[in-house]
Structure 1
């Protein structure tokens, strides 16, 4: 990013202003982040947030309705359900009829299977995102761990992205923003203590990409991992400790202009 001092300061002030505008509890009402905000238990938050982030494409109203349905099927207690459900629960409650775009009941049941195996032996999903030296490695580690079983489903892999396939990993980076960032605004949760907000990668969707290019924060043409890294590196110039806070500004601007 080639900016003179004057332009740098103008863009920083503009982004800070928009961050203050959109990083507000009013944001929760119409966003999938409202799903984990229904819970207070750490595991309930991270499980419901994983489903909300995974299903986060398409109309936000539809995403929220589908996530609410999953929580309803899990008796509004996802961690307890994950650990203690019986096979008959999955059959009788209607899990096998679930569908959101290309994410169907087969994918949902595999997610539940993975989560049950994981939480039987672990306290928090944070460990899968914090054991490696870079975010790129951590996201790849999560993906590989998610499918590290001989009956892992090939079709479900398209719903869990990885930088190893050059994906920008928009939904997983959004998930990490929710659980890692901590401020006094009341939107992001900040319940994961072992990951610094400074290493997070900005979620790169169509809204963020367009606004970033308008502001000269992104030049790469492909919407891939390198583009997400380029944008984040430029955002670190404005706030090295919390670059992804500007996701609120860029996403909000994109929705506003739409």
Structure 2
């Protein structure tokens, strides 16, 4: 059911989505802002119309083709399935391990499709063509753990927090790091090779932010573990950890 995967009603879904977007965007703003102040990034002039158009078009494509399907299958089905039998750590690491296999599997599917239609297939590997495999897998690991942290921050409609985080990550990186090539209307130039480390750093800050949000939610009684009562406790438990032994 949708609740088993981590979806929920309109109100809780919007709250979870905004939590994922807000924590991730704030973390990116803090770290990228610090990198800019330190001279690691130099930003272009903003073109408001082009930027707004890119955010809208990229948001639709990234949501439908990346954030929604990946989060539904991985932080929805995979994480929930593991969580019904294992502890939080095993579930988080297991889900992230599956996440690391996705880029390699996509290159295999892409190559097979290219052969079928008579095109030139891209190389098969663990990372997209042109990416350093080790650096890419490290970034993907940190990103996967960030998405799990988002998935577990709220009791109700928690999957939307992961979707919001995923969508914000793609948008920020495509503007900041690829905005010139994508015609985003704004982009940053890296003045030092170390600037690429700002991305995993802001993801780590987002993990810390989600941990704080989760603790605050529990203190306010939003989590059923600490005293939610009667039907509400049952409903919230079904949405956060639907299996009886989770």
Compute the TM-score of the two structures, normalised by the length of structure 1. 0.31
Q: Between Structure 1 and Structure 2, whose CA radius of gyration is higher?
A: 2
Q: TM-score, normalised by structure 2?
A: 0.32
Higher normalized contact order (CA 8 Å, seq sep 6+, divided by chain length): 2
Relative to its length, the structure with more helix (as a share) is: 2
